[in-house]
């Protein structure tokens, strides 16, 4: 009799764990969707510090946020 009760509790526990994980997954997806537009703005990266860091026909130019090599 106690084995049947234990089995029922295990099934209930597994179900509650599954519901919790699905809920957590949905919350994480919501947060990722909220953060994603910020990533589209780009990041400031110093890709060059002078024309010598760029290839032939390129110059190191400022984007206002960073320096990048651009075709002159």
Per-domain residue ranges for the chain? 1-41, 43-72
The Cβ of residue 57 has, within 10 Å, a number of other Cβ atoms equal to: 9
CA dist., res. 54 & res. 3, Å (int): 73
The Cβ of residue 42 has, within 10 Å, a number of other Cβ atoms equal to: 10
Residue pLDDT, tens place only, 5-44: 778 888 889 999 999 999 988 888 777 666 545 444 566 7
Q: Which residues of 4-22 are buried (b: 16+ CB within 10 A; e: fewer)?
A: eeeeeeeeeeeeeeeeeee
**Model pLDDT, residue 53:** 94
């Amino acid at each position: 009799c106690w084995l049947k009760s234990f089995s029922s509790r295990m099934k209930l526990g597994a179900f509650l764990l599954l519901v919790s994980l699905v809920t957590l997954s949905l919350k994480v997806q919501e947060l990722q969707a909220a953060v994603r537009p910020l990533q589209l703005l780009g990041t400031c990266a110093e890709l060059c510090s002078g024309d010598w860091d760029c290839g032939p026909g390129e110059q190191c130019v400022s984007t206002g946020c960073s320096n990048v090599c651009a075709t002159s």
